[in-house]
Amino acid sequence: MSEHRDLINDVIRRISEGDIAPDEAWSTIRSLKDKYIETRKRLHPDKDAEQSWHVFIGNSFQNLVYAILKGYFANLKKKDKTFQNL
């Protein structure tokens, strides 16, 4: 499962650097969710894979929101210099 965590952290890093837009990041995360649940069901068929995802992503959610905001303002500052002091 550390592979999934690394992928999520990579998405968070790319958002915060302004490399990808939030909607693209969200699409990527949805895809990662599907892969995570599929893997979890295969490895632990007796466990609730959906609940496991919520715990997994919940631990990263604060970082994700911060990265989205940071990336948004980074892009805004690139496009319009009047936002440099935000």
Region 39-64 average pLDDT: 86
Residue scoring higher pLDDT (82 or 2): 82
- pLDDT value at position 55? 86
Closest CA to 77 of 17, 2, 26: 17
pLDDT at 86: 65
The answer, as to whether pTM is greater than 0.85, is no
Q: Report DSSP state, residue 21.
A: -
Q: Computed over its alpha carbons, how large is the radius of gyration of the chain?
A: 15
Structure tokens given for 27? 């699409």
